[in-house]
Amino acid sequence: MTSFLRAIDRVNDFLAAIAMAFLFVMIVDMLYEVVSRRVFGAPTLWAYDIAYMLNGIGFLFAAGYTLRRNGHIRIDFLSTRLPRKNQDLINLLVYLFLIFPALGCLILGAYTGWLEAFLTGQLEPVSPWKPLIWPLYGGILVGFVSLMFQAIAEFIRHCRAVRGLEPSPLEHADDVAA
């Protein structure tokens, strides 16, 4: 079980590294656009599309990594006053009844959108460059699936913490907040 959880963590670490690389590419992309537009008076057709696509995919690629590091925003001013075991139980319920169903719907929607765009060769309708849209939808799908796997891993870690088999994953949140 531990090797399965570590494998999920490694995949999300890898996707977060890709997200960081996307950030660098976006910076270069925007610098090129600004120089091209302001200095040479020749704006690009593609720079905006590249930037928003990389931003959207990178944001979702980093979501699982952020979940593992307890970096997502929480409204937990009441639950933090409870014993750690009760906090883990609350998290189990939130994962079970809120996060898993929501991610399931998002994955289904992302898959449907990607498949339709891939099969029809759909182009971005509002862009003058008109790039294929399925790579964006595919990246969104990969991001949601990796987030679901990380949520499953965190759910398992909370279950193990409730049973006293390992420390609570919330203990990492204390390190991040400090």
Q: Please say if the pLDDT value at position 177 is more than 50.
A: no
Kindly state whether residue 132 falls inside one of the protein's structural domains. Answer: yes
| 128: in domain | yes
Tell me if 25 is assigned to some domain. yes
Q: How far is Cα 99 from Cα 102, in angstroms, rounded to an integer? A: 5
The pTM assigned to this predicted structure is 0.90
Supply the range of the domain harboring residue 147: 2-67+82-177
The verdict on residue 29 lying in a domain is yes
d(CA 72, CA 100): 16
Q: Is residue 73 part of a domain?
A: no
Classify burial at 84, counting beta carbons within 10 Å of its beta carbon; exposed 0-12, middle 13-18, buried 19 or more.
Answer: middle
Percent of the chain with pLDDT over 70: 96
Split into its structural domains, the chain has a count of 1
pLDDT at 178: 41
Averaged pLDDT for residues 19-44 = 97
Any idea what DSSP says for residue 98?
A: I
Mean pLDDT, residues 65-70 taken together: 94
pLDDT band at 28 (very low <50, low <70, confident <90, very high): very high
**pLDDT score for 77:** 75
What length is written for the chain? 178
75 within some domain: no
Is 74 part of any domain?
no
pLDDT tens for residues 153-165? 999 999 999 998 8
For residue 72, being part of any structural domain is answered with: no
